[in-house]
A and B are shown apart, each in its own frame.
Chain A
Amino acid sequence: MHEFSGGVKKPYQNIIEVSASDPHRGGLRPLTFVRQVLAACLYPQLINSDKLPVDVRQRAQRLLGACAGGSVGSYTATAGIAEIVQSVSDFITRRDGGIPSHPENIYISPGSHWNIFTILVNSKSSPRSGVLTPVPGYSNAVMSLTGVGAVNVPYYLDKEQGWELKVEELHRALESAKGNCKPVALYIINPGNPTGQVQSRKSIQEVIRFVSEKRLFLLVDEVYQECVSGEKSDFVSYKKVLFEMGHPYSDTVELASFHSVSNGFFGECGLRGGYVELVNVDPTVMKYIYKLFSKDSCAPVLGQVALDLMTNPPQPEDPSYPLYHLIQKMKATLLCNLKRFMEVLNSLPGFHCPPFEGGTFAFPRLHLPPKAVHKAKEVGMQPDTFYCMRLLEEAGVFTSPGCDFHLKDGSHHIGVCIMISEEVMEELLRRLACFHIQFMKDFS
């Protein structure tokens, strides 16, 4: 968050914050159905009034009935409220065309990553555990992993091929780890963050064969699965592909997949609702995973409620359906934002914004003039950080520099969340274009 200190005059009224994927901050409205159910859970008198649609009231009643003492203020079971875990399990089964999902393999948790990483990573062993992570990639995951003592082993997505994941690169990364650490896991983000690439089924199969052969635990971050434009690839889950590959893969490859209410059209980042589904994990290890989760007590209950709503949304026959269906409009907005963003940026000298398939981030490449690169060095910053700082100070647009995603090949990028309202997008583009032209002039 940024503060205007001491009445300093700026040519803008507010900061446009698009450095992280936070749709509500970017002007998108929360879904009415979601907020009505939350309100009814918090203030159950609303269940008896006809102010809210009947399906909202029924859902709140059902969920409160599943809470200890009928209250969202009570602790829940460690893995989450059983009915909600069931909703998540049913959602996964439906999504994957009937491939069964078992509730006992699912944990609802705010940021489920830590506990799974903790159990995987042996920081005391010699050599230490290593985890392969994508570059460019979501830096929080890398920090979580190194925070529990893992050695980070980067693998590079192919910039020239739409940030495609190439198995040869996974092999290279694994080789590079020899003598440094003992790789135990491969971390995948699909759809990619910040790169937005959506893996093809073929690519997923290659990765599964790779981890099977090389004996790696597969960690798959699928939080952007709802946000796929579908022009090149549809989203297909790792679990689905794994099971369709059959024996031996389907019953041996160990997999943890993550999803959350933060990143799709719900945008309920602040509620901290997410889950992890564990596949083919040793039953004895599952007991220890339970213990790790149990010391955190449970996930925040409102986050669990939001997860129920995401995985078990209103159906066409429900009164809230038409309003909920506005999600389709949000999808259209996202696509529209994407097109506008590409259009404007590709018209600006020095920017190259390739098309991207999924996620909520644009990650255009920036060709900075040598003078700007030099100035950045002088002030001790990475060039793309320098650009982003200037963009923030002078135009009030808060973006992420490419170096935040650990790109070290000398290329420069900025990361911009495009899951925002159309009005905010227009304002963003206006300010960015204006700033950029001036910047390029100043440093020509």
Chain B
Amino acid sequence: MAAARMQLLSTRNVGILSRGWLTGDGPRVRSLTSPPLCPSPGRALSSVSATRCGLPKERMSENGVSPRAKVLTVDTMNPTVKKVEYAVRGPIVQRAVELEKELSEGIKKPFAEVIKANIGDAHAMVSFFPLYSHTSFYFKVLALCSYPELLNDSRFPEDAKSRARRILQSCGGNSLGSYSASQGIESVRQDVARYIEQRDGGVPCDPDNIYLTTGASDGIVTMLKLLVCGKGATRTGVMISIPQYPLYSAALAELGAVQVNYYLNEEKCWSMDISELRRALDEARRHCNPRALCIINPGNPTGQVQSRQCIEDVIRFAAKERLFLMADEVYQDNVYAEGCQFHSFKKVLFEMGPEYSNTVELASFHSTSKCYMGECGFRGGYMEIINMDEEVKSQLTKLVSVRLCPPVPGQALMDLVVNPPRPGEPSYDNFMRERTATLSALAEKAKLTEQVLNTVQGISCNPVQGAMYSFPCITIPEKAIKEATDKGQQPDMFYCMKMLEETGICLVPGSGFGQKDGTYHFRYTTHDYNILG
């Protein structure tokens, strides 16, 4: 039945392979085989910019005497880069940094400090939340791995030492400084596989399907690179929720893929509707070739936690419509609301039986940056690949080898995340205490955020079911909208800029994540609850 089904992602339709890149005996000079395209808009523009400089570029190459136009200009650079935006570190954050600098220079502002509620980084806010603990066990192990002489130091517990020894043994030269295998340290991948099996109630996980990555972002971008190909009407379309985490829109823009938006339902607490997926897909098929469906669960920026039923419906939809599923599950431990539970796509897939579990192609992503760990700076992550064509998988392995290997400390940290202190071990009690404290602090703040924001006129906030953010809807007065439009700014950017200048609070405008036309939002990182006053 399912066995004969052709895989969606095969070596015939993997974009990066169609450039002859990873197959054959390696890169070589290639003759241009594609038919000549019409001159790109970039080229037409380049003559305009040259005129603005007063000197046509073509003439300059003869004498090489300045002034001359540069080789790399906005007109000659890769045109897809022009569309890349990443709001989380965008213009508002840059302004926030400027304001911080001004404050430090003694310039008076209506606020004493800038509060960066723009980024999901729990530890960065530790000065506001001393309760917020690092998982001290992890840092002990990493310190031991970095400087193994500390293995003789009695300050460090035995369970930390044994984990450090095990990690070091799996590193070349017993050092975190050696390159690891590109797919990641094998023993770590094995531990990840075991963790996934436990999490998913025994559904088997093959370590060979695990790829350690530099944060989840690296895995997501790598998969998109494999998926995106084609030209014009056959250009790959990738379905992504609106609102979404802007890594997706940035990566799709950079790769020149077609972003296919499906809208989450704000009235129903940002839930997914299959009918909306259907609408988006049908519309997209008119102008591109949709091949992948990305889901962020729990959601960023919206915080919704998908129900099991919804996940099953999505899987059925993906199976029927032959879409590669990408499940971004980095917030899997951050679930707060009553009645909500995290269900991994993998688990649900396998529980739906072989008709689906043998055929639906799925990549799930996780990271050390979120949940209770919040260790963003280590850039640790993994992806699990299910039902990928074997040949494509070996090309994926080659693709990841180009970036050599993920940071080894991040791999070590991931190992600890999936292999934490066990009951009976010396560090267990403290670990559980810290973990519980962090998760309940996050849960409490999520609830309080929703409550407080809803008391403010003009702001309406859905319950924060999970993740680390709230995405309230704001009503912006007509006058403000007009002023914003006159300035060429999105109204919610205008609102957030004013907020920043007047109160020092840095939020990210909803336009950075995508939203229904005519609606405005901002993303607020909930662990900064205390500043809401």
Contact = CB atoms under 8 A, between A and B. Distances in A.
A181 B186 CA distance: 41
Given A25-B178, A42-B146, A43-B143, A147 B16 contact: yes
Interface residues of B, number: 102
Interface string A137-151: 001101111111101
Interface string B203-226: 000000000001101100000010
Given A251-B66, A288-B84, A297-B376, A142 B27 contact: yes
A51 to B, nearest CB: 7
A78 B178 contact: no
Contact of B73 (A30, A284, A300): A284
Interface string B473-503: 0000000000000000000000000000000
Given A78-B89, A302-B378, A125 B19 contact: no
Interface string A295-327: 111111111000000000000000000000000
B275 interface: no
Contacts of B36: 126
Contacts of B374: 73
A122 B78 CA distance: 4
A78 B22 CA distance: 30
Max chain A Cβ within 10 angstroms of own Cβ: one of B66, B73, B143, B180? B143
Best-buried of B31, B43, B146, B376 by chain A (most CB within 10 Å): B146
A301 B121 CA distance: 14
Contacts of B403: 110-111, 114
A280 B174 CA distance: 42
B77 A73 contact: no
B34, B39, B125, B172 pick with most chain A CB within 10 angstroms: B172
A320 to B, nearest CB: 13
A113 to B, nearest CB: 9
B167 to A, nearest CB: 11
B377 A296 contact: no
B376 A73 contact: yes
Contacts of A111: 403-404
B177 A296 contact: no
A121 B255 CA distance: 12
Contact of A272 (B86, B147, B399, B407): B407
A376 interface: no
Contacts of B79: 122, 124
Contact of A152 (B29, B119, B408): B29
Interface stretch (A156-164, A208-216, A222-230, A332-340): A208-216
A179 B22 CA distance: 24
Interface string B85-107: 11011100000010000000000
Nearest to B40: A125
A269 interface: yes
Nearest to A403: B25
A213 B64 CA distance: 5
A146 to B, nearest CB: 4
Given A271-B409, A300-B214, A24 B73 contact: no
B1 interface: no
B377 A76 contact: yes
Contacts of B407: 110, 270-272, 300, 302-303
Given A22-B178, A300-B409, A288 B81 contact: yes
Contacts of A403: 25
Interface in A256-305: 262, 266-272, 280-282, 284-285, 288, 291-292, 294-303
Contact of B74 (A43, A248, A288, A292): A288
A305 B51 CA distance: 46
Contacts of B433: none
A122 B119 CA distance: 32
B353 interface: no
A253 B128 CA distance: 47
A181 to B, nearest CB: 7
Interface string A192-223: 00000000000000000000111111000000
Interface stretch (A64-72, A99-107, A236-244, A428-436): A64-72
Given A74-B123, A153-B29, A122 B409 contact: no
A146 B214 contact: no
Nearest to A120: B72
Contacts of B134: 71, 73
Given A122-B76, A288-B84, A295 B251 contact: yes
B514 interface: no
Contact of A124 (B40, B88, B127, B181): B40
Contact of B78 (A118, A140, A291): A118
A180 B377 contact: no
B64 A248 contact: yes
A149 to B, nearest CB: 7
A65 to B, nearest CB: 12
A266 B410 CA distance: 19
Interface centre among B21, B76, B82, B140 (most CB of A within 10 A): B76
A118 B34 CA distance: 21
B378 A139 contact: no
Given A281-B72, A291-B86, A122 B29 contact: no
Contacts of A88: none
A35 B144 CA distance: 10
Contacts of A215: 60-61, 71
Contacts of A180: 29-32
B37 interface: yes
Given A17-B172, A282-B72, A74 B121 contact: yes
B74 A284 contact: yes
B410 A254 contact: no
Contact of A269 (B32, B178, B375, B379): B178
Given A122-B77, A125-B43, A270 B171 contact: yes
B165 interface: no
B146 A270 contact: no
Contact of B376 (A25, A75, A124, A145): A75
A303 B171 CA distance: 17
A247 interface: yes
Contact of A214 (B61, B126, B217): B61
Given A30-B177, A295-B84, A45 B155 contact: yes
Given A25-B173, A68-B124, A294-B89, A217 B178 contact: no
A383 interface: no
Nearest to A288: B81
A39 interface: yes
A71 B126 contact: yes
B150 interface: yes
A284 B72 CA distance: 10
A147 B21 contact: yes
A217 B404 CA distance: 25
Nearest to B248: A295
Interface in A48-87: 51, 67-78
Given A124-B40, A302-B378, A42 B142 contact: yes
The 7 closest A-B pairs by CB, nearest first: A270-B408, A25-B172, A301-B377, A68-B124, A39-B147, A24-B173, A43-B143
Given A214-B61, A295-B250, A298-B379, 4 more contacts: A69-B124, A75-B376, A110-B379, A177-B29
8 contacts: A24-B175, A72-B377, A75-B377, A270-B405, A271-B408, A285-B74, A297-B215, A300-B378
Interface of A: 1, 17, 20, 22-28, 30, 35-36, 38-40, 42-43, 45-46, 51, 67-78, 110-111, 114, 118-128, 139-140, 142-149, 151-154, 176-177, 179-181, 184-185, 212-217, 247-248, 251-252, 254, 262, 266-272, 280-282, 284-285, 288, 291-292, 294-303, 403, 406
